[in-house]
Amino acid sequence: MSEEFEKGPSPIQTGQDIAPFLLKTPMEIAYVLRQLEQNHTNIAIYFNAGHDMMLTRVLNVDSKNKQFIYDIGGHEPSNRDLVSTPKVLFVSDLDGVKVQFSTAAPSRIQYEGKPAFQSAFPIDLVKLQRREFYRLTTPITTPYTVSLQGNNQSSLTLDIHDISLGGLGIWLKDEAQTTLFDLGSILHKCTLDLAAAGRVQVDLEIRNLHPVSLKQDMMRHMLGVKFVNLSRGSEALLQKLIVQLEREKKALTG
């Protein structure tokens, strides 16, 4: 196995449930490919039934024709093998998020006067967002909420600011509520109301409590919590929600 092979990101392990992380529309796929291009991210190309690998980078993304162009390898025999392989697997780590997709064999072209590869967009693409710190801001007009009890046993319903597979950012209503929570304590049987996605009951560990400066010299306090022993069903629901939130975000930002 070559030194270059050792340095390449490894494919997603078989048996993982990747369905919630599949992107299928050309717009979504183009968005991720463009991120790889803009970040100059290394991509491992596995071919010859996974026995061979080379590293590449995306050079150009053509959304109109649903094609992308990427670097040719430095080992010419591998380049020749690549264009004759029936299936090519692309694997990368984009800011800590695993990206994986497959295409048919590429064609060799000239791009900006240099040899390169060109492939059609994949049918689908996996963006495996398992980073605990990968947080998405929740809707503002119809905020998600969490119902819980403070350490004085008072029942509270608070707005959720952001969400991830690891936990939540929760807005407190006023400074007085900061006295209701102790760092490191566990809040049992909290109910998340995620609008159309449904409701889910979770246990939360309080990890931090800090002030947030807003516009016009306003100040609010945010509670940072971590999910504790999240069930598979709850995790699956959150995975689908996070993918949906990111799709909505990309639709707004283009």
CATH code for the structural domain at 3-128: 2.30.110.10
> Structurally, what CATH architecture does the domain formed by 136-253 represent?
Beta Barrel (2.40)
- Helix%, strand%, coil% for the chain, nearest 5: 25, 40, 35
pLDDT at 132: 47
Distance CA 193, CA 171 (A): 15
- 196, two tokens: 């159309």
Domain boundaries, the chain: 3-128, 136-253
pLDDT at 2: 37
Q: What percent of the chain has pLDDT over 90?
A: 52
- What residues form DSSP beta bridges with 191? 147, 201
> The pTM is what?
0.54
Residue pair 144/205 in contact (Cβ under 8 Å)? The answer is no
Of residues 163 and 212, more confidently modeled: 163
Lowest average pLDDT, out of 54-58, 128-132, 211-215, goes to: 128-132
Average pLDDT value over all residues in the chain = 87
Lowest average pLDDT, out of 87-91, 137-141, 150-154, goes to: 150-154
- Which secondary-structure segment (H or E) carries 103? strand 97-103
pLDDT at 5: 40
